[in-house]
Amino acid sequence: MQSLTLPVQKHALMKNAMLKSLGYKYFRTLRINYINVIEFFTRKYAPENLFAHAALKVYREKFLAKPQEYFYPNDTENISRILRKMTRHKFRNFLLVDCLNICAGDNRDIAQEILGDFCSVRDRKTFRRIFAHFYDDNNEKLPVLSRNLVKQISLWDSIRNFRNKPTRKILFTALMSAGKSTLINALVGKIITRTQNEACTGRIHRIYNKPINDGFVSTLENNLVNINANEKQFLDLDSDSSEISVFTFFDSYRSDNFRFCLIDTPGVNFSASSKHQHITQNEIKSGDWDLLVYIINAQYIGTTDELQHLKFVRENVSANKIIFVLNKLDRYRTDDDNIPETISKLRANLEKIGFKSPVIFPVSAYAALLTKLEKITKLNDDELDELMLINMKFSKFQEYDLSRYNQTENSQENLDSHELLQKSGVLNLEKFLTGKDLTL
């Protein structure tokens, strides 16, 4: 699947210094002509390519101060003139790189047609070498190129190489209020799915990682691609679609080792609709995933609803394809609660149901999420207070170092990461998910 990654934010044509040197009017015309050529090849060779059309929309939004002023010349003479002009312009190599990757992608035949159109105007050895770099295995070295162009090619290389990596599909299931959505947000490193109890999702969310941080959250829903989706679009729970795919960069341990798909399912005990339970159970029984992560609320272990769902999972999931996450341990009170005892009690309950030697990750998803959010946004006063209190508790009491309770293959690796993130237990979970093998 296309990762919907578009490295336009770091494009040479986005640099303000160039605007000052060339002048606004000239620079605006240059950008319009640049987009004209990409649209020409999209119309000619990729009329049904959803990514290409969505990329064009983003280029208009990012390149032009007033996107509504963009126009495409419908007469052949004008577009031919623009093509001749741009294939001679100093940005011609940038343009070829974009056209190949946006309009052709991995389709070598379409890429060959685009190359032919470029060379029919002016045959350049550099054009052919750029093509060979992306589509041939002859390892021919590129000629000396500008630093900005080398950077652009490198970004597209990362995107193309990422498409060939194996995909890991991780399904998350839980009762309501277990913190499932908070855990997914913590793994991703941003708010990508709603966490409020009243906003329980009634559809499947598939959350994919991007190979680079292109600055966009992208969506695929009802066969419509939106590369630059806003919060309302990717958090909207009122949509009538049965599922939505969301694409974003993960701030997670070695997440670029694999193409990840985190599958967020509805809470199975949503009293307002039995449909949620059916959606989740059908997704579990489909088996179209590599690992099931079952999240349990540490404050409510052994409820009737929990027992019922655990039995369903036990009957439909192989023992080597499931792990358990004991969440919300930051809510424990030092005088009244005991984390090791809770873990032992949960293990005993799971074994009684039939899960032999269950793998359990004790975590505070909320602590991990706040730690990651603090790096990218300004927390509100309530969040800052909660983060401070959790940090104090986890620093003062050794029992709250949740990383102690589940050692993974890479758990002893020294990382330059926030101490609270390590103690939250989520980092251990990330290491497990990105390990060599998910089989238990």
DSSP calls for 178-225: S-HHHHHHHHHTS--S---GGG---SEEEEEE-SS--S--EEEETTEE
Q: What does the pLDDT read at residue 440? A: 62
Residues 418-431 have pLDDT tens digits of: 789 999 999 999 99
pLDDT (tens, 9 = 90+) of the chain, 440 residues, equals 678 999 998 898 887 666 556 677 888 899 999 999 999 999 999 999 999 999 999 999 999 988 998 999 988 899 999 999 998 888 999 999 999 999 999 999 999 999 999 998 877 889 999 999 999 876 667 777 888 899 999 999 999 999 988 899 999 999 998 999 999 999 999 999 877 554 556 789 999 999 999 999 999 998 899 999 988 777 765 567 788 999 999 998 888 788 999 999 988 876 556 788 899 999 999 999 999 999 999 999 989 999 999 999 999 999 899 999 999 999 998 888 899 999 999 999 999 999 999 999 999 999 999 999 998 888 999 999 999 999 999 988 888 999 988 765 555 554 445 789 999 999 999 999 988 677 66
10 Å CB burial of residue 312 (0-12, 13-18, 19+) is middle
- pTM of the model as a whole: 0.91
- Reduced to 3 states (helix: H, G, I; strand: E, B; else coil), residue 167 is strand
Find where tokens 């609803």 sit.
305
Residues 275-285 have pLDDT tens digits of: 888 999 999 99
Which residues contact residue 334 at a Cβ distance below 8 angstroms, ignoring those fewer than 6 apart? 393, 397, 399
CA distances from 258 to 289, 322, 342, 434 (A): 14, 19, 33, 7
Q: What is the DSSP string of 100-132?
A: IIIIITT-HHHHHHHHHHHHHH---HHHHHHHH
What is the dihedral sign for C-alpha 407, 168, 214, 95?
positive
Q: What does the pLDDT read at residue 3? A: 83
Q: What tokens does 386 get?
A: 């909660």
- DSSP classification of residue 254: T
CA distances from 434 to 166, 173, 281 (A): 12, 19, 26
Q: What does the pLDDT read at residue 347? A: 95
Residues 71-130 have pLDDT tens digits of: 999 888 999 999 999 988 889 999 999 999 999 999 999 999 999 999 988 778 899 999
Residues 387-438 have pLDDT tens digits of: 999 999 998 888 899 998 876 555 555 444 578 999 999 999 999 998 867 7
Q: What does the pLDDT read at residue 185? A: 95
Q: What is the DSSP string of 9-39?
A: TT-GGG-HHHHHHH-HHHHHHHHHHHHHHHH
Q: What does the pLDDT read at residue 198? A: 47
